[in-house]
Amino acid sequence: MSYAEDMGYDAYDPEPEDYETWTMKNGREIEVTDMETSHIINTIAMLKRRLSERPTSYPYMGDSDFASDSVDREEAVNEQIAEEIEAWIDVFEKELKTRKR
């Protein structure tokens, strides 16, 4: 199991419209525009913590092509997840800016 799977992330490249509805920890979905400002701020903080928790190195798995491929796949999945998290942070920060008018 990868770090991403351990942390409960899905590894996929979401479409822009996928960033309109946030799925909360309890599984309930909520439109970003309907979220309380404090909820958005807390969500951004949580996402930034998750980014900082990402592994930066992987355990030595031996000198085989299989081990090397496994580490490469793990790094690719984690990078994809980081990109998704950063995209969500951008969405939430943009929403906060619209509220500060």
The answer to whether the predicted template modeling score (pTM) of the entire model surpasses 0.75 is: no
Token pair recorded at residue 31: 């439109």
Cα(76)–Cα(53) distance, rounded to whole angstroms? 16
Q: Where are the domains of the chain?
A: 3-99
pLDDT tens column, 28-70: 999 999 999 999 999 999 999 988 887 666 565 666 766 677 7
Q: How many CB atoms lie within 10 A of CB 91?
A: 19
Whether the CA torsion 18, 22, 24, 25 is positive or negative: it is positive
Cα(58)–Cα(35) distance, rounded to whole angstroms? 37
Cβ burial 47-83 (10 Å sphere, 16+ → b, else e): beebeeeeeeeeeeeeeeeeeeeeeeebbebbebbee
Backbone φ, ψ for residue 18 (5° rounding): -70, -15
